[in-house]
Amino acid sequence: MAAADAAAANAPAEQPVTPGAWRAAAVGMLAGGFAIGVLSGHKRLARVVPLITAGVALGCTVPVALASRRPPITSDAAAEALTRAAHVPTFSVVVPARDEATVLRRLMSDISRQDYRASDGSPLFELVVVDDRSTDGTADAVAAAAADYDIAAVTRVVARRGDGLPDGKGAALTSAQPGICHGDVVLVLDADARLEPCFLRRAAGYFAAGANAVTARRRVLEAEGGWLAGAQADEQTLDGELNRGRWALGGCSEFRGNGIMIRRDLLAAAGGWRAAALTEDIDLSSRIAALAGERVVWAIDAEVWEEPVRSVDRLWSQRLRWAEGALRRAFEHGPAVIASSELSVGARLDFAVYAGQLAVPPVVLGTAAVSIVNGRRRSLLSIVAGYLGISALLGWDALRWERRSDGRPLGFDERLRRTVRVSLFNGLWLLVVPRALADVAFRRGPIRYVKMQHDGAGDPAGRSQSDLPEAS
């Protein structure tokens, strides 16, 4: 390993901390939201709340749904831009991995089959695997797979070693800072990711069309295998609808962890990866927004597949981390984003509204408490209905992207059933966010990470959704 690689891999990393101001803000959100919820149980306010929630639901969902149909860069425009580009971008594919020998071979097979190559057949990409203190032979598995799939010349392993290092994906990525990457674009994938051979080519088109930050469409493997996996798959589709619409409206659209793509020079200008970022994707999204006014492009035809979380307890741990990461991002970077002269007023307002949704669950908590005391449930039902209604409206619209196994659109009954499922599934946030607020406010000691377990099951669908006409 080169000296620069070794230095980057073993450099001291900042530990996640919780400043007193963040604790106070979390307490304020909990107490303030709860108080508003209690007040909403007042007889007069109970008559107004249904109208307010309905107005907010429609005001948020309709513009997003309409805008998602007219993205600033279409998949066809991206493909055309790549054919006309004088210089096509190269990629550094970075995979942080801790004890992932089971799944890495499958991902490396997918990477070796990428059709994004120069005219002489040489790959326009490199692979950098961060071996984050693995004990299962991850590094040896990578070396063996690289040799078997004939990509050893473009594969490197960066060993992250040391005592007391912070855990988590963001921390692992600090061993693969932009300075050790050779590609024009840094692509971050989870170890369980699966790709179709056209992935890099399609992603490159968006950069050729002028994008500086792109995120892939996340798909879930074996989504037909059960309620939990299917709900996660539709949740990703809904989230893509939301952020695609925000991007088209000029808002602060964001990365999602599996499939982050960013120009290397922009990543370097933003300070690279941070170990203190509990959720590295939205942390980086906010930093590049505040720094350069960059909004994240959503590439609907560049799909990255991943395993679902297979148990309720691990799902809870994952969503709790996501919620706490969203709160920490809002507290740390929110003021800079709101004050950034690089962003339009509309983009800053979009960020404020999107971050503001984290205040809704404490309100629901307070409303639930007062409804138990006074027996009046109108306010509680209306707020919950409004919250779930936003998910339902966006979910129904987003499911237009989905296809049955025969390539035809979903039937009305299936689309309705999946809309109800994803709406109810999103109700989980009403429980997760208050708990995350309490953790930020009161927890002492280091943050504990729960690593997701991967078993290497499932394969991407043989046909990409983007092989069909783009849904409108």
Given a cut of 50, whether residue 8 has pLDDT beyond it is: no
CA distance 90 to 37: 52
Give the rounded distance of the alpha carbon of 463 from its chain centre.
Answer: 23
CA distance 349 to 356: 10
102-136: per-residue pLDDT in tens?
Answer: 999 999 999 999 999 999 999 999 999 999 999 99
The confidence score (pLDDT) of residue 462 equals: 47
CA distance 99 to 155: 18
Residue 16 pLDDT level (bands cut at 50, 70, 90): low
The confidence score (pLDDT) of residue 46 equals: 65
Report the percent of the chain where pLDDT is more than 70: 91
Given a cut of 90, whether residue 50 has pLDDT beyond it is: no
The confidence score (pLDDT) of residue 472 equals: 45
Given a cut of 50, whether residue 4 has pLDDT beyond it is: no
Given a cut of 80, whether residue 284 has pLDDT beyond it is: yes
The confidence score (pLDDT) of residue 55 equals: 72
Q: Residue 384: name the closest of 361, 408, 353 by CA.
A: 361
CA distance 31 to 41: 16
Q: Are 171 and 55 in contact (CB under 8 A)?
A: no
193-243: per-residue pLDDT in tens?
Answer: 999 999 999 999 999 999 999 999 999 999 988 999 999 999 999 999 999
Over range 441-468, report the average pLDDT: 70
| CATH H-level, domain 3-10+73-325: superfamily | Spore Coat Polysaccharide Biosynthesis Protein SpsA; Chain A (3.90.550.10)
Sequence ranges of the domains in the chain: 3-10+73-325, 20-67+353-442
Residue 9 pLDDT level (bands cut at 50, 70, 90): very low
The confidence score (pLDDT) of residue 45 equals: 66
Q: Which of 37-51, 158-172, 333-347, 455-469 has the lowest mean pLDDT?
A: 455-469
pTM of this structure: 0.92
Q: Is 270 left (phi over 0), alpha (psi -120 to 50) or beta?
A: alpha
Over range 17-34, report the average pLDDT: 94
